Amino acid sequence: MLAPTLDAIPPIRTGHRGRPQRRPGKLHADKAYDHRRCRQECRARSIIPRIARRGIESSSHLGRHHWVVERTFAWLARYRRLTIRYKRRADIHLAFTTLACALVCLSQIRRFC
């Protein structure tokens, strides 16, 4: 699922004029993605893989980046409807996920204003 996920990333605006950048420059991942195939898929898309190696490195080197993801999942877990998926239809689940993301963004905007 790594390749379809990388291909689904929308173009990134860098703030500079010209064509938007196609993909991010680096991919930070934990030991679950430590496979030759994952590294090759990243390099084929000109993405530098920053993946912790099994048995060699600890995932603590990715701590700063990993914390952002875990924090975001915790914010979304506050909405019980997303934690326990009651709806079988994917479009309804996507709508609730989008709504939860909008509410999380709104709360962060209010926090800084």
Tell me the per-residue pLDDT of 19-64, one tens digit each, with 9 for 90 and over: 666 677 888 887 888 889 999 999 998 888 888 788 776 655 655 6
Strands (E), the chain: 26-29, 48-51
SS3 32: helix
CA 12 vs CA 9, 25, 37, 85: distances in Å: 8, 11, 25, 31
pLDDT of 102 reads 93
Encode pLDDT of 60-90 as tens digits: 565 566 677 778 888 888 887 777 777 788 8
**pLDDT on residue 73:** 81
Predicted local distance difference test score (pLDDT) of residue 55: 75
